Amino acid sequence: MSLLSRNLDLFDPIDAVVSEQSSREGQLEAVARFVRECVLCPLCRNRRNAVPGEGDAEAAVMVVGEGPGENEDAQGRPFVGRAGELLDKILEAAEFPRSTIFITNIVKCRAADMVEGRMQNRAPMAPDVAACRPYLVRQVEIIQPKVILCLGSPAGKGVIDPGFSITEQRGKWFEGPFGSRIIATFHPAFILRRGGAGSGARDLKKLVWEDMKLIKNYLLEAGS
């Protein structure tokens, strides 16, 4: 069982507000309002904008990344930098373009430290991921996607299992909530760090494409 399950009997103020909304879009916006005002972990201190996520409220595929970077923090939207451009190309090649999916992150605020006078991105810490998980859990509950695609090791650790290994466990299916299946592949930013068009990046892109084909075939079999 993934880390996205919870005890639905526990009362929560977010649930109370979400349940007042009749549409999935309204419910997602209710969650987003909580996210934009959230101060539950230290990542709220340096953010310019929280990034709740965006996309199709009826999406069959939900993409979950690590967290907002500099561009995302500036715009309040997920995957809008160079990694986002590469992700768009990957998703379009797999025939589930961004307009048909919902895209978010395991933490909704940028994780960054000041290094030599400049804010540098870093992986979010486990307590920050745990503090932010209830928002992701609710987004999954509202959308109830068929497939949850984790991008990169931190997303795999935050969604599948704290001991998740991207090199050993990418491209494998895991059980998710509401009958969904979870799979992980490499983060586009990792491919870009490997040199974009270099041979290392080519090998990574090939593996990512294999993972996309698994999702595509599963959705075809599931009739989506």
Question: Given the rule CB under 6 A, which residues bind ligand SF4?
Answer: 35, 38-41, 43-44, 50, 107-109, 128, 131-132
Of 104 and 185, nearer to ligand SF4 (C-beta) is 104
CB of 6 to ligand SF4, least distance (A): 15
Of 41 and 166, nearer to ligand SF4 (C-beta) is 41
Output phi, psi for 104, to 5 deg. -155, -165
CB of 31 to ligand SF4, least distance (A): 10
Of 103 and 215, nearer to ligand SF4 (C-beta) is 103
Question: DSSP secondary structure string, 92-125?
Answer: HHTT--GGGSEEEESSSS--EEEETTEEEE-PPP
Using DSSP, state whether 90 is helix, strand or coil.
helix
Of 45 and 118, nearer to ligand SF4 (C-beta) is 45
Quick check: 105 and 66 in contact, CB under 8 A? yes
118: its two tokens:
């400049």
CB of 197 to ligand SF4, least distance (A): 33
CB of 107 to ligand SF4, least distance (A): 4
